[in-house]
């Protein structure tokens, strides 16, 4: 890709930095299916501790981490409740149904809607109805425009689940962005969920990698199912090293991405204060048309609906790049 392009399609497009590549090249490795990769173990222990949990498991993708995490709480013929545009419901191609055999029911509205969750909840009434086994939350909310789910809402879900004796899953693909945007400790987020999925390959800039984070038992079971799904990886410390490097160097800098996202929002006529993190969704009459026109001017964006233009800032978008894109978008949307 030409360096002149400003790629705002997703924060997954980042390429490993020179120092990240050096860390990867220097990584100590072993066969991780035998539990012998020291760098993977370091990463798993570190991420578990960050969220105040007992254990963590390295996975190739966030989707696999979500499948493993949700299935630690919900079995065949049981259900998880989530928001209607949640990544687990919309963007994992039915993996939870295909592999776990669970069903989903969804609420509509904000990332957490306590009244709807209470209405949807189905107790176990024997062999007549599908029982609710877990509630899933997403923070930040991808298709909700990178919105931060307030900690108070998450704590309300935790209390609700405890009262009903069900589990809580957190899709924390971008929990790092929520943490930096609000200053909420990662451990506080961790305390609201039994099991989390977190990504290193989004804003943190690692080329690959996510983790399931939870109890020793949940993670041990996830390890079995990861292998069953074909996700047992060998000398994968080279990838874990990228994640460790990202945790050292790419968390606090997410604030720059958030600042750049507000600049883009302003250029698109939105209130910058409405942007919580690194994703901007703009309502336009013809999103694919704007995407094509922006490309002509060296700016890559995506259409996530006929009228929804999405711009995502990340490690490979400098302030100067954001200013360039802002000028292009202001002109196109005028
Ligand atoms: C990206 C993402 C995931 C995981 O995606 P993969 O491409 O499978 O790594 C999960 N949840 C959310 C909210 C995401 O944005």
89-104 pLDDT per residue, tens:
999 999 999 999 999 9
Asked if residue 132 lies in contact with residue 165, where contact means CB atoms within 8 angstroms, the answer is no
180-198 pLDDT per residue, tens:
999 999 999 999 999 999 9
Distance CA 8, CA 279 (A): 9
- pLDDT in the model for residue 184: 98
Asked if residue 124 lies in contact with residue 99, where contact means CB atoms within 8 angstroms, the answer is no
Tell how far the Cα of 36 is from the centroid of ligand 1, in angstroms: 27
Q: Is the CB of 11 under 6 A from ligand 1?
A: no
Q: Tokens 């983790």 label which residue?
A: 211
| Average pLDDT of the residues in 10-30 | 98
285: exposed, middle or buried (C-beta count within 10 Å: 0-12, 13-18, 19+)? exposed
Start and end residues for every CATH 3.90.1150.10 domain found in the chain: 253-333
Q: Is the CB of 71 under 6 A from ligand 1?
A: no
DSSP, res 297: T
* pLDDT band, very low/low/confident/very high, at 14 (cuts 50, 70, 90): very high
DSSP, res 54: S
DSSP, res 279: E
> DSSP of 206-226, one letter per residue?
-SS-EEEEE-HHHHHHHHHHH
* CATH assignment, 18-249: 3.40.640.10
| Position with higher pLDDT, 1 vs 32 | 32
What is 253-333's CATH topology? 3.90.1150
* pLDDT band, very low/low/confident/very high, at 2 (cuts 50, 70, 90): very low
Q: Is the CB of 256 under 6 A from ligand 1?
A: no
Q: Is the CB of 61 under 6 A from ligand 1?
A: yes
321: exposed, middle or buried (C-beta count within 10 Å: 0-12, 13-18, 19+)? buried
- pLDDT in the model for residue 3: 54
Among 137, 142, 243, the mutation site with the greatest number of ligand 1 atoms within 8 A of its Cβ is 142
Q: Look at residue 255 and tell me whether its pLDDT is greater than 50.
A: yes
Q: Is the CB of 66 under 6 A from ligand 1?
A: yes
263-319 pLDDT per residue, tens:
999 999 999 999 999 999 999 999 999 999 999 999 999 999 999 999 999 999 999
Q: Look at residue 1 and tell me whether its pLDDT is greater than 50.
A: no
Distance CA 295, CA 21 (A): 29
Beta pairing, strands 103-107 & 79-83: parallel
24-80 pLDDT per residue, tens:
999 999 999 999 999 999 999 999 999 999 999 999 999 999 999 999 999 999 999
- pLDDT in the model for residue 102: 98
Q: Is the CB of 138 under 6 A from ligand 1?
A: yes
Q: How many residues does the chain have?
A: 334
> What's the CA dihedral at 286, 292, 296, 302 to 10 degrees?
100
Start and end residues for every CATH 3.40.640.10 domain found in the chain: 18-249
Q: Look at residue 4 and tell me whether its pLDDT is greater than 90.
A: no
Consecutive H or E run containing 107: strand 103-107
83-136 pLDDT per residue, tens:
999 999 999 999 999 999 999 999 999 999 999 999 999 999 999 999 999 999
Among 91, 176, 201, the mutation site with the greatest number of ligand 1 atoms within 8 A of its Cβ is 91
| Average pLDDT of the residues in 251-266 | 98
Asked if residue 223 lies in contact with residue 35, where contact means CB atoms within 8 angstroms, the answer is no
| Average pLDDT of the residues in 154-169 | 98
Give the 3-state secondary structure percentages of the chain, helix then strand then coil, rounded to 5: 45, 15, 40
Beta pairing, strands 132-138 & 167-172: parallel
Q: State the helix-helix crossing angle for 216-228 and 62-71, rounded to 10 degrees.
A: 120
Q: Is the CB of 171 under 6 A from ligand 1?
A: yes
Distance CA 243, CA 24 (A): 9
- DSSP alpha helices (H): ranges in 15-113? 18-26, 38-50, 62-71, 87-90, 95
Residue nearest to atom 3 of ligand 1 (CA): 62
């Amino acid at each position: 890709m030409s360096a002149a392009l400003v790629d705002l399609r997703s924060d997954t497009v980042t390429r490993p930095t020179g120092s990240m590549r050096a860390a990867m090249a220097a990584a100590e490795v072993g066969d991780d299916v035998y539990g012998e990769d020291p760098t993977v173990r370091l990463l798993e222990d570190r991420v578990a501790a960050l969220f105040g949990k007992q254990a963590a498991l390295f996975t190739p993708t966030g989707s696999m981490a979500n499948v493993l995490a949700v299935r630690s709480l919900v079995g065949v013929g049981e259900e998880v409740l989530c928001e209607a545009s949640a990544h687990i419901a919309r963007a994992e191609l039915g993996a939870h149904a295909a592999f776990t055999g669970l069903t989903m029911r969804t609420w509509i509205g904000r990332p957490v809607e306590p009244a709807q969750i209470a209405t949807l909840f189905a107790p176990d009434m024997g062999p007549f109805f599908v029982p609710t086994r877990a509630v899933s939350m997403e923070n930040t909310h991808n298709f909700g425009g990178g919105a931060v789910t307030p900690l108070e809402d998450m704590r309300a879900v935790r209390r609700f689940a405890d009262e009903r004796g069900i589990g809580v899953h957190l899709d924390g693909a971008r929990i790092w962005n929520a943490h930096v945007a609000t200053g909420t400790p990662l451990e506080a987020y961790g305390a609201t969920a039994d099991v989390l999925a977190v990504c290193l390959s989004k804003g943190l800039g690692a080329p690959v990698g996510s983790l399931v984070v939870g109890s020793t038992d949940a993670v041990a079971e996830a390890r079995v199912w990861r292998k069953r799904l074909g996700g047992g990886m060998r000398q994968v410390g080279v990838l874990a090293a990228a994640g460790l490097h990202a945790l050292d160097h790419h968390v606090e800098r997410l604030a720059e991405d958030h600042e750049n996202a507000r600049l883009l929002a302003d250029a698109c006529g939105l209130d910058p204060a409405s942007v919580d993190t690194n994703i901007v969704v703009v309502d336009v009459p013809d999103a694919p048309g704007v995407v094509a026109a922006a490309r002509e001017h060296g700016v890559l964006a995506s259409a996530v609906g006929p009228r929804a233009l999405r711009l995502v800032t990340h490690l490979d978008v400098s302030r100067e790049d954001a200013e360039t894109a802002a000028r292009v978008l202001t002109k196109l949307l005028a």
